[in-house]
Amino acid sequence: MKKIMMLLVAALTLSSAATAQTAKLDVEGLKKKLASSDADIAHAKKSLKAATWVNRGNVYYQATMAPTANIFKGMSINDATLVLGEPTEKRVETVGTRTYEVWVYPHFDAYISQQEGAVHFWKPKTVIVENGLETAYDAYLKAIELDPSQAEKVKPSLVQIMKEGHVQNADLSFSSGNYADAAKSFAKAYELSVNPLINEPDTMSAYYAGYIALVNEDFPTAKKYLELVKEMGYEGEPADGELYFLMYHTYDGLKDSVMMENVLKEGVAKYPANSKLNEALVFYYTSTGQDATVMIPVMQQALANDPNNFVFHFGLGLVYSNLEDFDNTIASFAKSAQLNPEDFSSHYNLAVTYIRRADAMLPEIQAIPMNEQARYEEKLGEFNTEYRKALPELEIAHKLKPEDPTVIELLKNIYFRFRDESPEMMANYEKFDALFKGM
């Protein structure tokens, strides 16, 4: 779902280090172990022993993970060279919106982020056994079925399958743009985490299972896992209302208008400063022919309970802003800025609202006949006054976030408008013009 998601070829000589890395992977030896395990479970007596099944779990897990055992996410370029050796080839490849240098090895291709100077993900090329993690998991469960005392012994192996197997696969699939497999692997990790043998619910995996399913437009799966984590009290990190936004889009995909409205109302009440939730709820009301002003009493009730909460004043400002009620928007953002002078968003949005209120005057000014010069000058003066009101708020915003390019550009443009009024205005224009050009 695109709206939510808003992600040289040089052949080298194989070094001795790379040869050593390749030699460590004994593919034929692992296949013999797999065949031996298959024979053991087919044996009438051996198949009744828990040890046979524990060994099977170990063998299948090792065979699954062995081809990429020496690489990990975040591995530095230097470490990769030391541990993996020189690649047989290097090339550049774009995945999504990011460009990587790809290091080619016999059993996998490593995707190096030049910005991070480290391995970002890899694509396995050697598969010794299919569905190895699932087979290993089933084998461990069979061992416990035959001998319950094995439960504590195999628990670390089950956790390993969950974290180093399924979670790692999910991360790799997501990084490479394979969202369907990523969602499935995160779901498997979560389902394994709630198995009574582990009983360590991995809420983050459940969250990402739902989130990525939504990105992949698998709305039923997204609904299942997003509702699940909400019931468990997990709302992502940081918990800033994003879960409610994801659920809104999930219900939108399922054409469930009742739940769309409910989850947006709940989200706005809990996270009034989340602009996306506010905008989505206003859009929902207006697109369905309802009066979006019903949101105002909800926010006002929150303020009645906690009148000095700047976040609630800011949230009410967002509601008024979406309704283009500029006077009340300004009053709300001004109160928010007064209660928390260090809040960048309050000052910035207050300044932008002054600009929007000024711009709203333009049609009236442009419609004034040429023979009514006095009225034209009066209205133009009011227009410029509104623009001037934005300056002190933008200056505060600039001090709070000196590198923000949007603030710098707005300051440059407004000072340009008044540059001929005084040397001070010209100096300020030149200052912010230079800053903007230097960014």
Tell me the pLDDT band of 36, cut-offs 50, 70 and 90: very high
In this prediction, residue 276 carries a pLDDT of 86
Question: Is residue 22 predicted with pLDDT exceeding 70?
Answer: no
Q: Taking residues 199-223, what's their average pLDDT?
A: 95
pLDDT at 8 (0 to 100):
24
C-alpha atoms less than 13 angstroms from C-alpha of 196 in its C-beta half-sphere: 4
Both tokens assigned to 18: 């790379």
pTM of the complete model? 0.68
> Does pLDDT of 15 surpass 50?
no
Is residue 11 pLDDT above 60, yes or no? no
Per-residue model confidence (pLDDT) at position 9: 24
| pLDDT at residue 288, rounded to an integer | 79
Write phi, then psi, for 240 (nearest 5 degrees).
-125, 15
Judge whether residue 382 has pLDDT over 80.
yes
Buried b (16+ CB within 10 A) or exposed e, 219-238: bebbbbbbbbbbeeebbbee
pLDDT at 229 over 80: yes
pLDDT value at residue 291: 80
- Taking residue 438's Cβ as centre, other Cβ atoms within 10 Å add up to 7
Q: Are 230 and 247 in contact (CB under 8 A)?
A: yes
Give the pLDDT confidence score for residue 403 in this predicted structure.
93
Calpha distance 384→358 (Å, rounded): 8
Quick check: 129 and 122 in contact, CB under 8 A?
no
What pLDDT, on the 0 to 100 scale, is given for residue 411? 95
Is the pLDDT at 16 greater than 50? The verdict is no
**pLDDT at position 2 over 70:** no
Pairing of strands 98-104, 108-113: antiparallel
Q: How far apart are CA 186 and CA 181, in angstroms?
A: 9
The 10s digit of each residue's pLDDT in 390-425 is 999 999 999 999 999 999 999 999 999 999 999 999
Query: Model confidence over 153-200: pLDDT tens digits?
Result: 999 999 999 988 999 999 999 988 899 999 999 999 999 999 998 999
pLDDT at 20 over 60: no
Please state, in angstroms and rounded to a whole number, the distance separating the CA atoms of residues 63 and 69. 10
Report, as an integer, the average pLDDT of 358-382.
92
C-alpha 10: how far from its chain's center?
Answer: 34
pLDDT surpassing 70 at residue 100: yes
The model's pLDDT over 288-325, given as tens digits with 9 standing for 90+, comes to: 778 878 878 877 877 887 889 888 888 888 889 988 99
Could you give the CA distance from residue 65 to residue 161 in angstroms, rounded to a whole number? 10
How buried is 290 (Cβ within 10 angstroms: 0-12 exposed, 13-18 middle, 19+ buried)? exposed
Of all residues in the chain, the percent with pLDDT exceeding 90 is: 75
Q: Is the pLDDT of residue 227 over 70?
A: yes
| Band of pLDDT at residue 13, cut at 50, 70 and 90 | very low
| Cis before 238 (ω within 30) | yes
| CA–CA gap between residue 320 and residue 345 (Å, rounded) | 15
Which pLDDT score is estimated for 350? 97
What distance in Å separates the CA atoms of residue 189 and residue 100, rounded to the nearest whole number? 28
Burial class (CB in 10 A: 0-12, 13-18, 19+), 324: exposed
State the Cα angle at 102 between 100 and 103, rounded to 5°.
Answer: 145
Once rounded to an integer, what is the mean pLDDT over residues 103-118?
Answer: 94
pLDDT band at 381 (very low <50, low <70, confident <90, very high): very high
Residue owning tokens 């054409």 = 255
Instruction: Check: CB of residue 21 under 8 Å from CB of residue 105.
Output: yes
Does the pLDDT at position 268 exceed 90? no
Place of tokens 């960048």: 344
Crossing angle for the helix pair 344-359 and 310-322, nearest 10 degrees?
Answer: 20
- In the 3-class helix/strand/coil scheme, how is the chain assigned residue by residue? CCCCCCCCCEECCCCHHHHHHHHHCCHHHHHHHHHHHHHHHHCCCHHHCHHHHHHHHHHHHHHHHHHHCCCCCCCEHHHHHHHHCCCCEEEEEEECCEEEEEEECCCEEEEEECCCCEEEEEEECCCCCCCHHHHHHHHHHHHHHHCHHHHHHHHHHHHHHHHHHHHHHHHHHHHCCCHHHHHHHHHHHHHHHCCCCCCCCCHHHHHHHHHHHHHCCCHHHHHHHHHHHHHCCCCCCCCCCHHHHHHHHHHHHCCCHHHHHHHHHHHHHHCCCCHHHHHHHHHHHHHCCCCHHHHHHHHHHHHHHCCCCHHHHHHHHHHHHHCCCHHHHHHHHHHHHHHCCCCHHHHHHHHHHHHHHHHCCHHHHHCCCCCCHHHHHHHHHHHHHHHHHHHHHHHHHHHHCCCCHHHHHHHHHHHHHCCCCCHHHHHHHHHHHHHHHCC
Triad 248, 254, 257: Cα angle to 5°: 60
86, two tokens: 């020189």
Percent of the chain residues past pLDDT 70, beyond the cut: 95
User: What is the pLDDT at residue 386?
Assistant: 93
Tokens at 50, concatenated: 């828990």
Q: Is 60 exceeded by the pLDDT of residue 28?
A: yes
